[in-house]
Amino acid sequence: MAESLFITGTDTNVGKTWVLCKMLKAFRTQGIDAVGFKPVECGEKRTDSTAIFEICEEAGVTIDEINPVWFQKPVAPSVAAEIEGPNWDLDRVLVTFEKLKSEHDVVLVEGAGGWLVPIADNFLVSDLASKIGLPVVVVAANRLGCLNHTALTVRQIAWDGLACRSVILNDLPEDEDDGSRAGNQAALKSLISVPILKLDDIKSAV
């Protein structure tokens, strides 16, 4: 059964938006009314939110519903707020999410950076995920170092009381294979007890 999910990453630039867009396309190809939601984006061109919007525009959503909080500085949201002034409004974010959830079959929510990135003073991505309350999918760049980063993220999600549905190992095109890709999936299975998928298995994640 299709369900709404919170997409997080082991780090920034691991392909969260790429994976979310693939999942959106898979849902919508199946006739499921799925939309994306990026509560906060940092970056002058609003690139991630625009990519999500282009896929689900036909669902009648606006880019400001997809991305209610936008900082132009490409830094952590809490740092951007210090530079640009406070723009984070949790109530607005949650009201927008509930509206999307009430009007569409599935909402895929993308966090900012990794699980413990600060969004505001004493408020992390993990806190936002807890407020939203969806099962979590972790995206990890399939390269050297992902075993530790992924295991720590999955364990922290469990510690925070949320269900981790799966880990998606993403072969980033800009990364040369350092020799670890072939063995990472099997190695992770010995460290964590959630499904470990590759991007080709994306339909299994939805």
Q: How far apart are CA 48 and CA 67, in angstroms?
A: 9
Highest mean pLDDT among 1-15, 73-87, 92-106: 92-106
Q: How far apart are CA 111 and CA 14, in angstroms?
A: 12
Count of domains in the chain? Answer: 1
Q: How far apart are CA 197 and CA 67, in angstroms?
A: 27
Q: Tell me what pLDDT residue 123 has.
A: 92
pLDDT category at 75 given cuts 50, 70, 90 is confident
- Helix, strand, coil shares of the chain, percent, nearest 5, are 45, 20, 35
Active-site choice (16, 22, 38, 73) = 38
Structure tokens at 122: 């004493």
* CATH number of the domain that residue 92 is part of: 3.40.50.300
Domain, as residue range, for 137: 5-205
Ranges of H-type helices in the chain: 16-29, 47-56, 63-66, 77-84, 90-103, 125-132, 146-159, 181-189, 202-205
Q: Residue 171: helix, strand or coil by DSSP?
A: coil
Report the predicted TM-score, pTM, of the whole model to 2 decimal places: 0.92
Q: How far apart are CA 75 and CA 12, in angstroms?
A: 10
Is 38 among the residues known to form the active site?
A: yes
Q: What average pLDDT does range 41-55 have in this prediction?
A: 94
On the question of pLDDT at 72 being above 60, the answer is yes
Q: Tell me what pLDDT residue 173 has.
A: 67
Amino acid at 86: P
Q: How far apart are CA 199 and CA 203, in angstroms?
A: 9
Q: Tell me what pLDDT residue 23 has.
A: 94
